[in-house]
Amino acid sequence: MTEAAGSEAGNITVELELVAEVVSQQLESMLSVGNYDAVKLLLKPVQPVDIAEAIGNLPTNLQALAFRFLGKDEAISVYEYLDSATQQSLLRLLRSGEMREVVEEMSPDDRARLLEELPAKVVRQLLSELSPEERRVTAQLLGYEAETAGRLMTTEYIALKENQTAAMALEIVRRRARDTETIYSLYVTDAERCLTGILSLRDLVTADLNARIGDVMTGDVLSVATDTDQEKVARTIQRYDFLAVPVVDSEQRLVGIVTVDDVIDVIEQEATRDLYAAGAVQAGDDDDYFTSNLFTVARRRIVWLSVLVVASFFTSEVIAANEAVLKQVVLLAAFIPLLGGTGGNVGAQSSTVVIRGLSTQSISVLKPLQAVLREAMAGALLGVLMTIVVLPFAWWRGGGALVGVSVGISLLAITTLAATAGAAFPLLFDRMGLDPALMSTPFITTCTDVAGTLIYLKTAQWLLLNLPQLGQAAGISTQFLAASAF
Amino acid sequence: MTEAAGSEAGNITVELELVAEVVSQQLESMLSVGNYDAVKLLLKPVQPVDIAEAIGNLPTNLQALAFRFLGKDEAISVYEYLDSATQQSLLRLLRSGEMREVVEEMSPDDRARLLEELPAKVVRQLLSELSPEERRVTAQLLGYEAETAGRLMTTEYIALKENQTAAMALEIVRRRARDTETIYSLYVTDAERCLTGILSLRDLVTADLNARIGDVMTGDVLSVATDTDQEKVARTIQRYDFLAVPVVDSEQRLVGIVTVDDVIDVIEQEATRDLYAAGAVQAGDDDDYFTSNLFTVARRRIVWLSVLVVASFFTSEVIAANEAVLKQVVLLAAFIPLLGGTGGNVGAQSSTVVIRGLSTQSISVLKPLQAVLREAMAGALLGVLMTIVVLPFAWWRGGGALVGVSVGISLLAITTLAATAGAAFPLLFDRMGLDPALMSTPFITTCTDVAGTLIYLKTAQWLLLNLPQLGQAAGISTQFLAASAF
């Protein structure tokens, strides 16, 4: 976690997203002409994350050259921010001695992420070069499941003892400040390394120097387990405005902490996932859509598209099966897309608010049945409002009362049904322990399409048979229909 | 910003989202029977945010009673977390003396948010009761536009001078620790209150006690302006893993800081907004969908629905205008929803990834035209893949080559067009300085529907006229069509 410093390229204020681009261009031209003093001057005020992006933008042959200009501490920070392709190519290009030190001193969580991406052979090689302690920590982190607190956490934290004084604790903080991820949350453990309390550096600096840590700390500690899902870890830190949350194993021993900066990335990642699900795109591990090749892109989209196309086959079946009524009143076809589309849109709205509500937990003010009922009522209300506009249009465009009334009646039924289904399916999935976002908007849209088309055509058929006077304006004979109906 | 403490209700570990509910139930029964000692014991280990939610869940007549059990500092924290309805009802129910102190000591940013929601009369009353300094600060914050750094920031920060020593600075930090939002980021200003440097508490505690602050601080400071959009503030903190970012006015004077906990809420709020836009729901100010009444819900949905219904009228027009070809081959109608739907889904995928890419800036690796071209190619590729499945089905279900070939050709055209439009519209909006999320998925879906239906019916018509042998299997005469075409 960086704390508080900043960069502007020179004295010119550059738009945030352009800093790395500008640095990268200057870096490339300086390196090509061998103006190495300028490189050092250029990089001095730039933030590690921007240097990492700038190096990532360089041609491969210049990346290693640029990386060598960084001081030791800076090289480590920059390396942590590099994308995994550049990390790997630096590992190949630079002498293993140079890289060993960088890998040894990386944050354990960033190192675990790096090793995950590497071929097994390279991992074994790298692990064998680490000090026994770092090797142990890395192997431990790699042992936890992806997307859990165990994988997200860092093992670099400051643990104090209850019988230490505030003065002793401050001295420990001072000594460990450089090589630990955060010094702002401090943890108190007993002889078995079990977590017994927590205090902030704020508590410590305001405490009397002779006070016992056991008296200053807070004993009621909220912690997460190593196998807690990363989304839940993120919600905990977000809800309580923590800077970090401790991670304990099954025996309540403190094994690591998750810091707020990692949590922001998790929240962003989960939001991307929800959005992609809403758009029927399969999310990747990283937000790497724009850097992956066309076939990966197609693969991440074709699965959902195929499912939806097959679902559409049912709509085709419904229409084909009701060919008779369409033959009688071809203009009925003109409103199939409108009805399917409106049903889909209402269903999409309902599933969107419910899925997001489940994700942010804002839906918890309602019981599931209440939420579904509320959506059903909202759907009916929206249906009434839209019928006021759509019925006259359909009457006019459809050449008479038959089409108008069929569209009006089915619009009401479809919006109510769509809103109910849009709310109920994600809630059902959630209840069954599945990801509610799987009940994505496009899926609900497509289901609504099938049901809506069926309701519409059956309504029209029924009206033609039972209230034939409605069809008279359109000059429709009901004889053929009567023979083929139902 | 709370730092690091936690709560479990008693010794039983309760699911995070249930803590407040459990506390609220126990609180209600204890208050009703007048067991006030138990109330104090119950609330002691509970986090402010959970107490706030528990109080919010109580019947109105018990809320004020419960609130009075909190110690002064705790009452302030809890009040900051209360929802705005409960905040307002406490203001009414409690004696103004009790509340004056709470409002006086709230964080300036939380107080500004409270006052924003209150009737002008109450605001004047409250402001007049504040100390001159707090009144000035509050009025200043309220003067900034909503959703800017100025509105998000707090004016409680620690400012140091370059010629102070580390020992002096530590003493200032110790003295101010209780009443300032964060002590972990420290700011250095000159005589004109202009920001000249920044240092973290980590830098300070590791510095030599006699070192000059001017020598310890980092001079290259990244700051935001009071009118910087909150989303950009959030991206800055996220990108650089800051705990806080300083806010300066147009003369570079330090006027406040934005802390990471506020930024997490902004990121969440912006993600909700993007998701709601993708689902054609208008986002509210807060994530308050499930607590607002049915008419507010309908109002937030009807606007987009109406726009989309009117857009659907065009699809109806296209179908009605091509009644002739449908009359000849009624089964053509069976594939209108499939084509519109698939086009819509491909367009939704493209707009989803582009809108999200603009939001997380991950799209910046590509130039806008590159991105559109890439999507167009992806659309064409997906179209080819789907045609392989859809064409045989349409041939069979549609009763012959005419429907099969029409569906195949138009599917390819529609997916390519939909992907291009789905990518181009949000990019165009972004370029024009508008919110790309306005080019929402449903909007693109509906546009694709119109274009797709037109392409499909015109293709079928052209095939019937120019390759009449395709229609023979379906027993279609082309005479009528020839007379009415185009």
Closest by CA to B76, choosing from B179, B182, B184, B185, is B179
E strand intervals along A351-396? none
- B345 vs A185, A308, A361: nearest CB: A308
A345–B5 C-beta distance less than 8 A: no
Chain B residues with CB under 8 Å of A362 CB are 287-290
Distance from CA of A419 to the nearest CA of B (A): 12
Helix axes B60-67, B72-81, angle to 10 degrees: 140
Q: Give the residue from A308, A279, A439, A357 showing the smallest Cα distance to B426.
A: A279
CB contact under 8 A, B6 and A218: yes
DSSP secondary structure letter of residue A244? E
Predicted pLDDT of residue A99: 80
Determine contact: A25 vs chain B, CB below 8 A. no
Sheet with A195-200, edge to edge strand ranges: A159-160, A185-189, A195-200
DSSP secondary structure code for residue B200 in this structure: E
pLDDT of A92: 81
pLDDT of B409: 93
pLDDT value for A285: 59
Which chain A residue has its CA at the smallest distance from B56's CA?
A365
Q: Given an 8 Å threshold on Cβ–Cβ distance, is B4 in contact with A185? A: yes
* B residues 107-166 lying closer than 8 A (beta carbon) to A: none
Confidence (pLDDT) at A456:
93
Contact status of B315 with chain A (Cβ, < 8 Å):
yes
Please tell me if residue B303 touches chain A, with a CB cutoff of 8 Å.
no
- Provide, as residue numbers in chain B, all residues whose Cβ is less than 8 Å from the Cβ of A338: 309, 312-313, 315-316
Indicate the Cα dihedral angle B473, B476, B479, B483, nearest 10°.
-120
Give B214's contacts (C-beta < 8 A, 6+ positions apart): B162, B163, B188, B197
Pick B349's closest partner by Cβ from A239, A301, A374.
A301
**Nearest CB to A337; choose among B218, B337, B365:** B337
Tokens at residue A294, please? 């066309």
Q: Which residue of B has its CA nearest to A258?
A: B4
CB contacts, 8 Å: B475 with chain A: none
**Is A4 within 8 Å of chain B by CB?**
yes
Mapped to the 3 state alphabet, what secondary structure does A60-128 carry?
HHHHHHHHCCCCHHHHHHHHHHCCHHHHHHHHHHCCHHHHHHHHHHCCHHHHHHHHHHCCHHHHHHHHH
- Give the pLDDT confidence of A138-172 residue by residue, as tens digits: 888 888 888 899 989 988 899 999 999 999 999 99
Q: Which of A245, A279, A381 sits opposite B298 (nearest CB)?
A: A381
Nearest residue on chain A to B296, alpha-carbon basis: A378
Q: What are phi and psi of B248, to 5 degrees?
A: -120, 155
Q: CB distance A5–B218 less than 8 Å?
A: yes
CB pairs under 8 A between A and B: 433
Q: What is the pLDDT along chain B (486 residues), one digit of tens a residue?
A: 444 444 333 333 456 667 888 888 888 888 888 888 888 888 888 888 889 988 988 888 888 888 888 888 888 889 888 888 888 888 888 776 778 888 888 888 888 888 887 888 888 888 888 888 888 888 888 888 888 999 899 988 999 999 999 999 999 999 998 888 889 999 999 999 999 999 999 999 889 999 999 999 988 888 999 999 998 899 889 888 889 999 999 888 999 999 998 888 888 888 888 888 877 777 765 557 777 888 888 888 888 888 888 888 888 999 988 888 888 888 899 999 899 888 888 988 898 888 888 887 778 778 888 899 999 999 999 999 999 989 999 988 888 888 999 999 999 999 999 999 999 998 988 888 887 776 667 778 778 888 899 999 999 999 988 887 776 655 444 444 444 433
When CB atoms are compared, the residue of B294, B374, B449 closest to A381 is B294
Spatial contact of B93 and B101, defined as CB atoms under 8 Å apart: no
Q: What is the pLDDT of residue B90?
A: 87
Ranges of chain A with pLDDT below 50: 1-13, 475-486
Determine contact: A316 vs chain B, CB below 8 A.
yes
Cut 0.80: pTM above it: no
Instruction: Tell me the three state secondary structure of residue A258.
Output: strand
CB contact under 8 A, A6 and B220: yes
What are B111-160's pLDDT values in tens digits?
888 888 788 888 888 888 888 888 888 888 888 888 899 989 998 899 99
Kindly list the residues from chain B whose CB atom is less than 8 angstroms away from the CB atom of residue A341. 308, 312, 315, 340, 445-446, 449
pLDDT of residue A274: 82
Q: Which two tokens stand for residue A256?
A: 């690591």
pLDDT digits (tens, 9 = 90+) for B407-451: 999 999 999 999 999 999 989 888 888 877 766 677 787 788 888
Those of residues 220-239 in B touching chain A at CB distance below 8 A are: 220-223, 232, 235-239
Comparing CB atoms, the residue among A198, A327, A356 nearest residue B6 is: A198
Q: Tell me, what's the pLDDT at A165?
A: 95
Best mutation target among B272, B326, B453 (most A Cβ atoms within 10 Å) is B272
Do B5 and A198 count as a contact with CB atoms less than 8 A apart?
yes
